[in-house]
């Protein structure tokens, strides 16, 4: 079990409750969607998983074998190295090439040998079909290409879990589908993927476990998610 939440209450940074009595689990290789209207708690839930938002009230709140209600800040970097985190806006370093973007992450997480760093960069870029972009600057790439690089960055350290917050939010439908397909392929190698999305049509094409945030609650709706009508703000 990678994540186990039992009766977890989640509050926004201003202290206001946004989700109550959350029950949620992630095991190896699962592909999980979080759906729901804007402002219903999807991002807040994800932030608790990568320790950006603290959890104080829970019967059980375990992430990668650590009780996050009592987690010391000094232990967070080591735990984050077991995760890949992907954002809607890519968050690549604009002042350096793709090679140097990825090398920066590897060096920051303890890689020292230049040949091993180079080999790993080439390996992950091949996995996402971007090996020919290694010496490009981020601004030279399309949105879809930048998101593929962000996925490559997320899998550099062979994480146990990838957490993706609206990874297709800024992409056209065809490119969005490519990104979902890629993430699902990664989950089939054993890395779990937890992803928030508004892109409901793709849930039929690339099925996974589906949870919905609504009215302060988190509910598993895997069997009927395609019947839900969403409103977008």
* 116-161 per-position pLDDT tens digit: 999 999 999 999 999 999 999 999 999 999 999 999 999 999 999 9
Average pLDDT of span 74-99: 94
Question: Which residue in the block uniquely carries the two structure tokens 């009592």?
Answer: 70
* 202-223 per-position pLDDT tens digit: 898 899 999 999 999 999 999 8
Flag whether pLDDT at 233 surpasses 50: no
**What's the pLDDT band for 225 if we cut at 50, 70, 90?**
low
Q: pLDDT averaged over the chain?
A: 93
* 20-48 per-position pLDDT tens digit: 999 999 999 999 999 999 999 999 999 99
Looking at the chain, the whole-number percentage of residues with pLDDT higher than 90 is: 87
In 3D space, the residue among 177, 170, 168 whose CA is nearest the CA of residue 196 turns out to be 168
For the chain, list the domains and their CATH numbers.
1-82+162-170+192-228 (3.40.50.300), 86-158 (1.10.8)
Average pLDDT of span 183-202: 95
The rounded distance, in Å, linking the Cα atoms of 14 and 177 is: 35
CB atoms within 10 A of CB 176: 21
**What's the pLDDT band for 101 if we cut at 50, 70, 90?**
very high
Residues 6+ apart with CB under 8 A from 92: 98, 101, 138, 146, 149, 150, 153
Question: Which residue in the block uniquely carries the two structure tokens 């550099």?
Answer: 156
**What's the pLDDT band for 224 if we cut at 50, 70, 90?**
confident
- The pTM score is 0.93
In 3D space, the residue among 35, 37, 78, 62 whose CA is nearest the CA of residue 201 turns out to be 35
Question: Which residue in the block uniquely carries the two structure tokens 């399309």?
Answer: 142
Quick check: helix, strand or coil at residue 15? coil
Judge whether 211 and 220 are in contact, CB under 8 Å.
yes
Judge whether 170 and 88 are in contact, CB under 8 Å.
yes
Between 143-154 and 98-108, two packed helices, what is the crossing angle to 10 degrees?
A: 20
The rounded distance, in Å, linking the Cα atoms of 174 and 120 is: 28
């Amino acid at each position: 079990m990678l994540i186990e939440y039992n009766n977890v209450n989640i509050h926004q940074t201003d202290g206001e409750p946004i989700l109550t009595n959350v029950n949620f689990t992630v095991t190896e290789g699962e592909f999980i969607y979080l759906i729901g209207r804007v402002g219903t708690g999807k991002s807040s839930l994800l932030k608790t998983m990568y320790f950006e938002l603290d959890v104080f009230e829970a019967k059980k709140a375990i992430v990668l074998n650590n009780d996050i209600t009592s987690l010391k800040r000094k232990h967070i970097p080591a735990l984050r190295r077991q995760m890949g985190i992907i954002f809607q806006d890519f968050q690549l370093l604009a002042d350096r090439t793709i090679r140097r973007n990825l090398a920066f992450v590897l060096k920051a997480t303890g890689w020292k040998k230049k040949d091993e760093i180079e080999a790993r960069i080439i390996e992950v870029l091949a996995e996402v079909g971007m090996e020919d972009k290694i010496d490009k600057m981020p601004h030279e790439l399309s949105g879809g290409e930048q998101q593929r690089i962000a996925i490559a960055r997320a899998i550099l350290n062979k994480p146990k879990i990838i957490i993706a917050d609206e990874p297709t939010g800024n992409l056209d439908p065809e490119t969005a589908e490519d990104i979902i397909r890629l993430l699902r392929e990664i989950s089939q190698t054993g890395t779990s993927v937890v992803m928030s999305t508004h892109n409901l049509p793709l849930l039929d094409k690339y099925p996974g476990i589906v949870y919905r945030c609504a009215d302060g609650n988190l509910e598993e709706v895997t069997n009927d998610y395609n019947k839900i009508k969403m409103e977008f703000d």
